[in-house]
Structure 1
Amino acid sequence: MLDLAALRRAVEEHDRVVRVVIADHRGSAPRHAGAAMLVWRDGQSGTIGGGRLEHEALRRARLQLAQQRPVETRAQPLGPALGQCCGGAVTVVSECFDRARLAQLGEHGAFLRPITPAAEHAGAPPKSLQRLLRTRHLPPVTLPPVTLARGWLLEPLFRPARHVMIYGAGHVGRALATLLVPLEDFDVTLTDARADLLADLPDRLILRADVHSALDAAPDTTEHFVMTHDHQLDLDLCHRLLARPAASVGLIGSQTKRARFRRRLQQLGHSLHTIDRLKCPIGLPELGNQPQAIAIGVAHTLLAQPPITALRKEAAE
C-alpha cells in the first residue's frame, strides 16, 4: 500500500524522494507486491526485502534522483541476475516525488497511474483496473489489491488497521514504538511532554508532546499503553481511558502497582468490572523485565490477537 503520510513527511524533509515499490512478483521473492521503501540522497526508510535486490534498487534510485528521471520500471529475476536464493522474479517501479507530484495524488483510496511510456501514451487504463476502482465503492468496502496490468499500476492508499497510543517515551516506550512502527498494519503514536525524548525516532512514528490532547484525539478503536515517568500521571491517564471508548488499555508495572491502581481507581468511582479492562502488567513476564523484552512481549501479544473492534465504554460512576 502507498503510505501517503510517510511519503509527504519524507518530501517535506528531503524535497525530492524516490519511492521504490514491488509492483508484481512471481515465484519465491523476499517481499510481495506492495512492499516499498523511500530513498533520498543520503538515506532511506522501509525495505523491499534486503540483500542484493535492495542494494541494487538503492543504487539505481539515487542515480534516478541525480538524473531527475520521473519513473523507472524494470523486471528483475532474482536468481540468475542477483544471485539470490529466492529464484523468483519481481517487477520494481521507482518513482520520483516532489511537492508538485504529491499535489496530483489526492486521497481517494487508491493511486492508479501509467508506469511505462507506452501506457502513458495509451491514455486510458485497462478496463480490469477501472473495474477494480469501481468495486471498492460497493459493500463490503474493500481496498483493491496492488495490481500491475499493461503498464499501469494500481495501489491502495495505506489505511492502518490498528491504532496504538504509547504514553511515555522512556526506555520501554521508545523500544515499543520502534518495534511496532515498521509493521504496516499499525499506526503508532508516541506522546511525552519531554520534547528531548521525542528526537531521533523513525519517520513513520507520530509524535505528540501534549499527552492529554493526544488521548482526547485518539480513535475509539485505539490500543493504549500507559508507561510514563510519573505514577500520578499514569493514574490520571488510566482514569480518563477507562471512562471513554478504547480497544484496550495496558499499564506497565508490577502486581503491586496493579493492586494499588485498582484501589485508587475504585476511589475515583470506577466499578471493578470497568477496572478489569485495565491490563497490568503488560508484556510476557517470562521474557524478563528489560525494556526491549517488555516491548517484545507487548508486540507479541498484539500480533497474536486480531484487531479489537468492539468498543467498550463505561462511564465512571
Structure 2
Amino acid sequence: MNYWLSALADLQNQGLPCVLVTIIEEQGSTPRNAGSKMVISATGTFDTIGGGHLEYKATQIARDMLAGGQQGTRLERFSLGASLGQCCGGATVLLFEPMGQVQAQIAVFGAGHVGRALVPLLASLPCRVRWIDSREQEFPALIPEGVRKIVSEEPLEEIDHLPVGCYCVVMTHNHPLDLELTAALLKRNDFAYFGLIGSKTKRVKFEHRLRERGFDNAALQRMRCPMGLAEVKGKLPAEIAISIAGEIIATYNANFGQHDASVEPIAKLLPASRRSQATN
C-alpha cells in the first residue's frame, strides 16, 4: 500500500481532516511524475510529490484550506521558474482535495427509538457525535464510527463539556429531563443549533415554564420544536430521523464555516415545522 493511502486511512479513522494533493499534469522538462500524491494534515505531511519549493507551496495552500474549512476541490498551476526556485522551465498542475473536514459537532441526548434511527444517519455525514443517555441497555451493541457513546447518570452535566457551536438534539424519554436540558442549553446560548423533539403543545408548555425562569423571546426563538423539515412527513422513527438530519444538514450548509453562536437562528433559515412528533 502506498504511504499516502495508509496515512489517509489513519487520519480518517481518527476523524482528522486533511488534503490529498495530486500532480495531474506536467509540462516541460521537470523531474516530477504525474499521478504522484501526498497527504497534508494540520500538523503533518505524508508521502511526497517530489520535494522542493513546490511541495512547500502545496503544503501552505493545503493548510490554508484546512484552516478555512474549505470543502471544494482546487486546481493550482505552478510555473517552474524563478518564482519556485527552479532552474528549469515548465509547469506543474496540482489538484487539492479536502478529505474528512468535520462540518458539525453534534450532541444527541436520548437513545430511544428515534435516537437509534438518527445517530447512524449523522455518523454517515461529516460530523462527530456525542450520544448521551443514562440507560446503557438502550444503546445498540455496535456504535457507528465517529460516534462517542456516553452513559451518564446525570446527562445534564454533559452540557458543560460541549464545544462552542455544537449542534444539540434533545430527545430523551423523560419530559422533566428534556426541560432541564433545554434550560441549560439556552442558558449557555452558544450552540449553532438546538432541536427539541415534541409537538407544538409541548413547545407551548416548555415556553411557559422557561419564561417563568427568566428566558426571553429571543432565547426561546433559538429552540427548534417541533424539529425537523416539515416537508418530510410521517411519524415512524426513521421518518422523523430523516427530517431531523435534513434540518441539521440545511443548517450547517447555510452556516458553513461559522462554528459559533453567532449563526442565524434556525427559525430564520428554515420554514416553521407544521407537524407533530412522537416523543422518543
Per the alignment, residue 202 of structure 1 pairs with 144
Which segment drifts farther, 227-236 or 300-309?
A: 300-309
CA contact (8 A) 1:254 1:281 kept: yes
Are 1:254 and 2:189 an aligned pair?
no
CA positional deviation for 1:166:
0.8
**C-alpha distance in 2, partners of 1:25/1:246?**
40
CA contact (8 A) 2:69 2:101 kept: no
CA positional deviation for 1:299:
1.4
Per the alignment, residue 300 of structure 1 pairs with 246
3-state SS in 2 of match to 1:278: coil
**C-alpha distance in 2, partners of 1:260/1:25?**
60
CA contact (8 A) 2:132 2:149 kept: yes
3-state SS in 1 of match to 2:57: helix
CA positional deviation for 1:190:
1.1
CA RMSD in angstroms comes to 4.1
Change (3 A) 1:310 1:143: closer
3-state SS in 2 of match to 1:264: helix
- Identify the match of residue 58 of structure 2 among 132, 153, 169: 132
CA contact (8 A) 1:2 1:156 kept: no
Deviations 1:202-251 (A, max 9, x none): 12212212323432111111111100010111000000000111112110
Q: Spell out the pairing of 1:55-134 with structure 2 (5 A cutoff).
A: 109=42, 111-114=44-47, 125-134=51-60
Are 1:311 and 2:261 an aligned pair?
yes
Per the alignment, residue 30 of structure 2 pairs with none
Per the alignment, residue 32 of structure 1 pairs with none
**C-alpha distance in 2, partners of 1:289/1:110?**
46
Change (3 A) 1:161 1:140: closer
**C-alpha distance in 2, partners of 1:283/1:146?**
34
Q: Which runs of 5+ in 1 are unaligned?
A: 10-21, 27-74, 76-89, 94-104
Q: What is the letter of the counterpart of residue 267 of structure 1? A: E
TM-score (norm 1): 0.57
3-state SS in 2 of match to 1:113: strand
Q: Spell out the pairing of 1:218-237 with structure 2 (5 A cutoff).
A: 218-237=162-181
3-state SS in 1 of match to 2:187: coil
Per the alignment, residue 289 of structure 1 pairs with 235
- Identify the match of residue 113 of structure 2 among 165, 168, 171: 171
Higher RCO (C-alpha 8 Å, min separation 6): 2
Deviations 1:55-80 (A, max 9, x none): xxxxxxxxxxxxxxxxxxxx9xxxxx
TM-score (norm 2): 0.63
**C-alpha distance in 2, partners of 1:194/1:270?**
30
Are 1:274 and 2:219 an aligned pair?
yes
Q: What is the letter of the counterpart of residue 191 of structure 1? A: I
**C-alpha distance in 1, partners of 2:12/2:105?**
16
Which segment drifts farther, 231-240 or 126-135?
A: 126-135
**C-alpha distance in 2, partners of 1:126/1:177?**
45
3-state SS in 2 of match to 1:132: helix
3-state SS in 1 of match to 2:164: coil
CA positional deviation for 1:6:
5.7
Per the alignment, residue 190 of structure 1 pairs with 131
Change (3 A) 1:155 1:304: closer
**C-alpha distance in 2, partners of 1:158/1:131?**
22
Q: What is the letter of the counterpart of residue 261 of structure 2? A: L
CA contact (8 A) 2:42 2:63 kept: no
**Percent pairwise identity:** 28
Q: What is the letter of the counterpart of residue 130 of structure 2? A: T
**C-alpha distance in 2, partners of 1:310/1:143?**
14
Q: What is the letter of the counterpart of residue 112 of structure 2? A: G
3-state SS in 2 of match to 1:164: strand
Q: Which runs of 5+ in 2 are unaligned?
A: 1-6, 25-33, 76-91, 264-280
Change (3 A) 1:24 1:6: closer
CA positional deviation for 1:128:
2.3
